A and B are shown apart, each in its own frame.
Chain A
Amino acid sequence: MAYSEKVIDHYSEPRNVGSLEKSDLNVGTGLVGAPECGDVMKLQIKVDPETKEIIDAKFKTFGCGSAIASSSLATEWVKGKSIDEAMSIQNTDIVEELSLPPVKIHCSVLAEDAIKAAISDYKSRNQD
């Protein structure tokens, strides 16, 4: 099981760790958890009000390495995408990219859920 450099990188040096201003109307926050293991993950996106493109993403995850790497990868992927494009990211994409073993598949589910939760939070706060 040789992991690609990229994968190990997401584990040892996760990208986009941190927080965005929650009260900013352009920020959507998703908070999800995995009851299988008690992991909690917060993922935030910042959307350009004009282009509706995700211009920034941050996360904070309390959980195992796989959960951290999954959220790190998720934030990388959503940046530069439109909301609809980001909605279509599937956990299986994350599983494949990070070659997650069966025991860790729920970590990728968590990341997918976090993206969806952040987008729906953004949408609910921007219903005109």
Chain B
Amino acid sequence: MERIIGIDLGTTNSLCATVFDEGPEVIGEGENAVTPSVLSRIDSGWLVGQEAQKRRISNPENTVSSIKRLMGRDLEELGELVNELPYKIVEGDRKLLKVRIGVSEPYQDFTPQELSAEILKKVKQRAETALGESVEKAVITVPAYFDDAQRQATRAAATIAGLEVARIINEPTAAAIAYGLDEKQDLQKDGHVAVYDLGGGTFDISILKLSGKIFKVVATHGNTQLGGDDFDQALVEILKKRILQQHPQAHFEDPESKQILKKTAESIKIELSLSPETTYTLDFPKQGVSFTDNFKVEDFESLISPLVEQTLESCKHVLQQAKLSLAQIDEVVLVGGSTVVPGVRRKIETFFGRSPHVAIDPYKVVAIGAGIQGHLLAGGRRDFLLLDVIPLALGIETLGGTFSKIITGNTTIPVEESETFTTNVDDQTSIDVNIYQGERELIKDCRALGQFKLRGIPPMKGGFPLVEVMFRVDANGILTVSASEKRSGKKAEIEVIPFHGLTQFEIERIMEDSFENAIDDFNERQLIEFRLTAERVFQGIEHNWNVAESALTETERDKIRMQMEVVRQSIKGQDSQALKAQLDALGELTRPLADTAMGRSILTELQGESADS
């Protein structure tokens, strides 16, 4: 049986899982299990994950995070987010977003799909290393409220990464599977389950009906632009105000300052999940600004309260859609890193009037569910079935910018609906149809998915042809369209012009490019990684030289200095293994310092390297 892994491609972190003999579990151990969804550009390649994470402050212009929030979107839709992100975003053809790398010409621009593909490649590599086999297929999770364009973008990213997408499933549904099929959990096997999923950048609430072997999604609602990132951003705004009170000259527009603020906000958030108060220090060395203060958990909670309230509004809405009262919800499951925040958890508990299930690690539960679904798709089991819905209605533009629904929201997928079109004038051979997705009445409040150009309609009197257009939403929640003229029986041609996505041609071109680049990849990647390690080891040594002054003899210190020079020479060369050997030698020389902070940091750097490659 071939293996189909499950991948949780998150805003902040990505991880994968599969079903082992002992049961479903995340692939990889410790740091290797989680790949931060961060990339950093170096030479002609990317560093992904922990490596990139470390460069967020040292190299902010070239480091990209939270790409998931850009998937399938355009500049207008991102709104304020564009200014909050520490990297540059430009708009290309067809409103396609691109992330711009570099401080000056020549810039390099990348689509979110390409960037997500790099994360997926890293996850794939790590899975392959851990499993000792190649991985070709995956179930990838997306927020339930992702629309067609966002799903298409996710699938394109996987294709670029060389992964075949066996299925795209919704994150909350994946979580429900993980809980529902775990015998250790005392989740009721028949009843209504609410899955509250608050991640780094997205929020979803889904209601599922569990009966027998079937997990049926009844209704789903959410916000693909609301998550823990927004908590951080709210904190960042407060931090800025506080700093300005003491240092009116301080400014925060440069990428480095943005990254410093964001990182501090993140750690305050994490600290406050554990203790009622935390002290933080913000250093902006280039501005000569250093600022220390406290943050109380009450202040943090009132800060995020409006955001949490928004999620509860969604909860009310979804209950209405499901035609259920609060009393009819039998279980509540929490998913996503942001549900760890005590203030969030408390509010959910009050709203639903019951304590939620949290036994499965909210960071892992989605990946585990996806892994189980992958196992089912590979034929490993067939004792359960997931019936999911399309989150938002699909339809077409009609008169005066109004939206005509063809498939309503919360319809179980797969689903097919057909609609008959005709021509307005004699001998007209083509019809253009604009496709939208949303729940509002006007197309300006819905998302434009694309334009379908129906071609090859046999010439007839106006109004005479009957062009039947079939709208199909597959089990991935992705739309395909086909058409035929019923009087002639002729299949009409359909050209699809996506408004927010890559065309097939563009995907293929990116894949070709990355294939050409991949030839020297391995040596190059290692070279890049070892150079970085060297950089950090040097920093560690220089910062702590005073320790060396007191702990080492002059001879020992000279040896270190000489070895540093050797490493510097190796950095300029192209031989990754030689560089590695020289670095290890440097590590040996600093071993007498192993008990000091300096020694520890150097050794961690070197060990981190060998564990990962």
Contacts and interface: CB of A to CB of B under 8 A. Distances in A.
Direct contact of A and B (CB under 8 A): yes
Interface of A: 1, 3, 7-8, 10-12, 64-66, 69, 92, 95-96, 98-104
The B interface, classified by DSSP as helix, strand, loop or mixed, is strand
B463 interface: yes
Interface string B406-425: 00000000000001111010
B399 interface: yes
A102 B463 contact: no
A31 B90 CA distance: 54
A11 B403 CA distance: 13
Given A69-B399, A102-B422, A103-B398, 7 more contacts: A3-B399, A7-B399, A66-B400, A95-B463, A101-B404, A102-B421, A103-B396
B159 interface: no
28 contacts: A1-B432, A1-B433, A1-B434, A3-B399, A3-B400, A3-B401, A7-B400, A11-B399, A11-B400, A11-B402, A12-B400, A65-B400, A65-B441, A66-B398, A66-B400, A69-B399, A92-B463, A95-B463, A98-B399, A99-B399, A101-B398, A101-B399, A101-B421, A102-B419, A102-B420, A102-B422, A103-B404, A104-B399
A104 B396 CA distance: 12
A64 B402 contact: yes
B396 to A, nearest CB: 7
Contacts of A1: 397, 432-434
Nearest to B396: A101
Contacts of B424: 96, 99
Interface in B369-420: 396-402, 404, 419-420
Contacts of A92: 463
A69 to B, nearest CB: 6
Contacts of A66: 398-400, 402
Nearest to A64: B402
A52 B402 CA distance: 37
A96 B404 CA distance: 18
Interface string B460-501: 000100000000000000000000000000000000000000
Among A65, A69, A98, find the residue whose CB has the most chain B CB atoms closer than 10 A: A65
Contact of B402 (A65, A95, A96): A65
A40 to B, nearest CB: 18
A86 to B, nearest CB: 23
A100 B404 CA distance: 11
Interface in B67-114: none
Contacts of B420: 102
B65 to A, nearest CB: 39
Given A92-B463, A99-B424, A102-B419, A8 B400 contact: yes
B123 to A, nearest CB: 41
Contacts of B419: 102-103
A40 B537 CA distance: 77
A69 B399 CA distance: 9
B406 to A, nearest CB: 8
Contacts of A99: 399, 424
A65 B402 CA distance: 7
Nearest to B422: A102
Nearest to A98: B399
A104 to B, nearest CB: 6
Contacts of B401: 3, 8, 11
A47 to B, nearest CB: 30
A7 to B, nearest CB: 6
A116 to B, nearest CB: 21
Nearest to B431: A1
Contacts of B434: 1
Among B399, B424, B434, find the residue whose CB has the most chain A CB atoms closer than 10 A: B399
A1 B434 CA distance: 7
A103 B419 CA distance: 8
Nearest to B467: A102
Contacts of A98: 399
A66 B396 CA distance: 14
Contacts of A102: 419-422
B400 A100 contact: no
Among B398, B401, B422, find the residue whose CB has the most chain A CB atoms closer than 10 A: B398
Interface in B20-54: none
A104 B400 contact: no
Contacts of B399: 3, 7, 11, 65-66, 69, 98-101, 104
Closest 3 CB pairs of A and B: A11-B400, A65-B402, A66-B399
A7 B424 CA distance: 15
A101 B443 CA distance: 15
A25 B396 CA distance: 44
Nearest to A104: B398
Contacts of B398: 65-66, 100-101, 103-104
Among A3, A66, A96, A101, find the residue whose CB has the most chain B CB atoms closer than 10 A: A101
A90 to B, nearest CB: 12
A10 B401 CA distance: 12
Contacts of B404: 101, 103-104
A23 to B, nearest CB: 35
A96 B425 CA distance: 9
A100 to B, nearest CB: 6
Nearest to B466: A102
A64 B405 CA distance: 12
Nearest to B469: A102
A50 to B, nearest CB: 38
A69 B400 contact: yes
A65 B432 CA distance: 21
Contacts of B433: 1
B138 to A, nearest CB: 38
